[in-house]
Amino acid sequence: MRIAVCDDEKYFRNAICEAITSFYKSLDVICTAFESGRALISAFEKGQRFDAVFLDIEMPEPDGMETAKRLHEFSADLPVIFLTSHTELAMDGYEVGAFRFLQKPVITAKLTQALKDIRQLTADNKNLCIRSDGEEYYISPDSIIYAEADNNTVRFITSEKEYKMRLKMTEAMTMLEGVSDHFCRVHRSVIVNLSHIVSRNEKEVKLDSGVILPVSKSYVDEMKKRLVEYIRLNAR
């Protein structure tokens, strides 16, 4: 994933870039800083593209609003997250396709939520590549009900088929997190798609497929928190 941060104040653009790098903790995410709208537009003119842009509104010409208009000429669906200390500018931002607004100084929790939303937005167009029995399968992450450790492999269970791949559970979790925010580890050997949970208690979860899976004590608190967040965001 490629993310651009454009702010004429060095402190803010560095802080946002550091927070993005910390959130993703991945070499697959590249955060590029720009000190002006002109420099960012120039990068697009030279062929650079980004999956999302954090853009300060109040910059010398071209300001954030004008810069966003220009960027959308190159990439109409580009998510633009505006940074501003004046929330009254928000309405103007929606006219140029703002994805989100973050008020300066940026609150960590709101930045984290914006990054999660961006990751989910970009993941909506991604399929998971699973190498099983010498073949590569490209499947939607939403179709995965749960994943379970099986000796030196991980079984990915969907409603139609089961896929086995040789990897560790930590690697499977990283792979799933790369395409969706809906996966949660509930046991050292089990990862569940939160969208398939219909009930739970301190020791197990029941899925809409009828399968009942164990929940270990070390993962129960994180599962509760993630499930509450999922329900809140998806109004389930």
At 145-166, the pLDDT tens digits run 999 999 889 999 998 889 999 9
Residue 125: per-residue pLDDT: 55
DSSP category for residue 47 = T
Q: ∠ CA 41-46-51 to the nearest 5 degrees?
A: 65
The closest alpha carbon to 147, from 106, 92, 194, belongs to: 194
- What percentage of residues in the chain have a pLDDT greater than 90? 39
Torsion of CA 113, 118, 124, 128, to 10 degrees: -90
- What 3-state class would DSSP assign to 210? coil
Residue 93: per-residue pLDDT: 47
For β-strands 204-207 and 212-214, DSSP reports them as: antiparallel
Distance separating alpha carbons of residues 46 and 30, to the nearest angstrom: 18
- What percentage of residues in the chain have a pLDDT greater than 70? 89
pLDDT (mean) for 164-170: 91
Q: Which amino acid is at 197?
A: I
Q: Residue 35: pLDDT above 90?
A: yes
What does pTM read for this prediction? 0.53
